[in-house]
Chain A
Amino acid sequence: MSFLSIRDLSVRLKGGPPLLRRVSLEVAAGEVRGLVGESGAGKSMIGKAVLGILPPSVAVTGGQILLDGTDLLALPPAERRRRIGALAALIPQDPLSALNPSHRIGPQITDRLVDILGWTRADAIARARALLDEVQIPDPGRVLRAYPHELSGGMRQRILIASAFAAAPKLIIADEPTTALDVTVQKQILRLIAGMQARHGTALLFVTHDLGVVSKVCQRLSVLYAGMVVEDTTVAAFFAAPRHPYSAALLAATPKYTDPSAGLNPVPDAVIAAIRAEVAAFDRAAKHG
Chain B
Amino acid sequence: MLDGRSLVRRRAGLRLWLSCLWLGLLGTVALLAPWIAPRDPLAQDLFLGRMPPFWLPGAEPGFWLGTDSLGRDVLSRIIHGARVALLVALIAGSATCLIGATLGLLAGFLRGWVDMVISRLIDIWMAFPPVLFSILLIAVLGPGLGSIIIAIVVIDWTRFARVIRAEAMAQGAMDYVASARVAGRGRIGTMLRDILPNVLPTMVVLLTLEMGIAVIVEAILSFVNLSISTDDPTWGSMIAEGRASIHQAWWVLVFPLVTLFLTVLSFSQLGEGLKDRFDPVLR
Chain A contacts to B: CB under 8 angstroms: 48, 51-53, 56, 78, 81-82, 84-86, 88-90, 92-94, 97-103, 108, 111-112, 115-117, 139, 142-143, 146-147, 149-151, 160, 163, 167
**Contact between chains at B1 and A90 (CB < 8 Å):** no
**Contact between chains at A93 and B175 (CB < 8 Å):** yes
Q: Which of chain A's residues have a CB closer than 8 A to the CB of B176? A: 97-100, 108
**Contact between chains at B184 and A85 (CB < 8 Å):** yes
Q: Nearest 10 CB-CB pairs, A to B?
A: A85-B184, A102-B197, A98-B175, A92-B175, A112-B183, A100-B176, A97-B174, A116-B184, A149-B281, A56-B111
Q: Determine if B231 is an interface residue (Cβ-Cβ < 8 Å).
A: no
B-side interface mostly: helix
CB distance from A113 to the nearest CB of B (A): 9
**Contact between chains at A81 and B197 (CB < 8 Å):** no
**Contact between chains at B175 and A101 (CB < 8 Å):** no
Q: Which of chain A's residues have a CB closer than 8 A to the CB of B200? A: 102
CB distance from B185 to the nearest CB of A (A): 7
Q: Find the residue from B5, B178, B184 having the highest chain A CB count within 10 A.
A: B184
**Contact between chains at A151 and B1 (CB < 8 Å):** yes
**Contact between chains at B280 and A90 (CB < 8 Å):** no
Determine the interface band of chain B, counting residues with CB < 8 A from chain A. 20 to 34
Q: Which among A84, A97, A117 is the interface contact of B182 at CB below 8 angstroms? A: A84
**Contact between chains at B174 and A90 (CB < 8 Å):** no
CB distance from B279 to the nearest CB of A (A): 9
**Contact between chains at A81 and B184 (CB < 8 Å):** yes
Q: Determine if B229 is an interface residue (Cβ-Cβ < 8 Å).
A: no
CA distance A134 to B183 in the complex (A): 21
Q: Find the residue from A82, A97, A142, A160 having the highest chain B CB count within 10 A.
A: A97
B208-239: contact bitstring with A at CB < 8 Å (1 yes, 0 no)? Answer: 00000000000000000000000000000000
Q: Which of chain B's residues have a CB closer than 8 A to the CB of A53? A: 178, 181-182
CA distance A88 to B223 in the complex (A): 63
**Contact between chains at B280 and A142 (CB < 8 Å):** no
Given A146-B1, A149-B281, A150-B1, answer yes or no on A92-B185 (Cβ-Cβ < 8 Å).
Answer: no
**Contact between chains at A94 and B183 (CB < 8 Å):** no
Given A100-B197, A146-B1, answer yes or no on A85-B182 (Cβ-Cβ < 8 Å).
Answer: yes
15 chain-A/chain-B pairs, Cβ below 8 angstroms:
A51-B181, A52-B182, A56-B112, A78-B186, A84-B182, A84-B184, A85-B184, A90-B179, A98-B174, A98-B175, A101-B280, A115-B185, A116-B185, A149-B280, A150-B6
